[in-house]
Amino acid sequence: MSLTLDPARLVRIQSWADRYTDDQKFPGMSVLIRQHGQEVFFANSGTRDLSTGAKFDRDTVARIYSMTKPITSLILMMLIEEGAIHLDAPLSRFLPAFSDMQALRPGATDIADTEACATPTLHQLLTHQSGLSYPFNPGVLPEAMADLDLLFKPTSGTLAEQCSALANLPLAFAPGHRWEYSVGIDVIGRVIEVITGQSLDNVFQTRVLDPLGMAHTGFAVPAKAVGRFASLYTPLAGDAMDLTASADESTSLRLFDDAQNSPFRETTCFSGGGGLIGTIDDYMALAECLRLRGQGLISPSTADFMMANHLPGDIASLGPASFAEQPMDGMGFGIGGAVVIDPARSRVPSSIGDFSWGGMASTFFWIDLVHDVSVVLFTQLSPSSSYPARAELKALVHGALM
């Protein structure tokens, strides 16, 4: 197959990246592109640590946060293929603490104002229709989660402990009534532990990381990789995890998580929704697995099912009140990632069927089956809502398609 990405136009990405780092909007960044499985472009710019000036290069280890979700979802699809589970199973079948569920009444202003509701299914957890939430979303449940620090952080006890604490809270709404970005896939990670009888880090290692050769990816930074681990920065004067905030143009990059003292060096909670660190080439291996429709980990038919839109329409039509890592207009949601269903309504140059997701530190990936392209963006800036880098990168790549 012939390449259709024009090298002369792809070079624009280097200038674009340099502008972001020269203007101190991102500390450093890298972009990797493949078409038909062949590397066609790599660019890097800036540093992984402003204090040392070390380059943000191919071997930089970065926090991928919510880009962990597609891997957790992929593993669950493997278990479905093996007949160990089905998507309409209630969560309580695996985690009994989620029996006899309660949901906040519509318009509730107090965490105790609830009514009985159904237990969410695994499918609702995977597609963010479960009624769970995130502490950084607006609303009564997110406030209660924030008070309990229920963000499944690296050093927040164990995955089982975080899920047990979460089960004591009501849902934000009855399952299936809305779309709200949530810790649902973290809970799926605990379901995987229960089904397999293994810790999630071991399941990741044997099921995905080893088979795909992702040797530099895991839930904790090994001692030998600390020198390559990037620091995390924010343009905000306040909390870098405030994903609804915008960058303060008068504030320079502020160190938020020092690589040398990061909680990712002492991980105890294996977050299937946001716990991985890794390199850009490692994540490209995952993107290529999906572009090749499973690459032997799951069947092509299962991969197509995973990357199809599982919502009745786009995300915007389901009345979301939450933050999301993607636009909501023209975007559906599959198993663990977003799906473009109408490029014009998304207002970002795309192909119908693009499958993608991003992370809190502004990382991003997508696969385009129409043009047989995989793209991965790495940087380390939180929150990911600070700048429109993802939309700009998609436009740059589409501008190079000839």
Cα→Cα distances 261→143, 264, 278, Å: 28, 8, 17
What pLDDT, on the 0 to 100 scale, is given for residue 328?
A: 87
pTM of the model: 0.95
Give kind and range of the element (H or E) at residue 25.
Answer: none
Same fold, 7-76+202-399 and 85-196: no
Place of tokens 């924030």: 146
What pLDDT, on the 0 to 100 scale, is given for residue 246?
A: 58
214-217 CB contacts, 8 Å cutoff, 24+ apart = 214/278, 214/282, 214/283, 214/285, 214/286, 215/282, 216/59, 216/61, 216/278, 216/279, 216/281, 216/282, 217/276, 217/277, 217/278, 217/279, 217/282, 217/283
Residue 348: count of CB within 10 angstroms of its CB = 22
Which residues lie below 8 Å from residue 222, measured CB to CB, with a gap of 6+? Answer: none
List the one residue out of 106, 156, 96, 154 whose CA is nearest residue 131: 106
CATH of domain 7-76+202-399: 3.40.710.10
What pLDDT, on the 0 to 100 scale, is given for residue 334?
A: 98
State how far the Cα of 271 lies from the Cα of 139, in Å rounded to an integer: 23
Residue 57 CA to its chain's centroid (Å): 21
CATH of domain 85-196: 1.20.58
8 A C-beta contact, residue 402 and residue 252: no
What pLDDT, on the 0 to 100 scale, is given for residue 117?
A: 98
Q: What amino acid occupies position 384?
A: S
What pLDDT, on the 0 to 100 scale, is given for residue 36?
A: 97
Q: What is the DSSP letter of 4?
A: -
Which segments of the chain have a pLDDT < 50? none
Which parts of 83-222 fold into alpha helices (H)?
A: 122-126, 140-147, 159-167, 184-196, 200-204
Place of tokens 């693009």: 354
Which residues lie below 8 Å from residue 59, measured CB to CB, with a gap of 6+? Answer: 216, 228, 279
Domain ranges of the chain: 7-76+202-399, 85-196
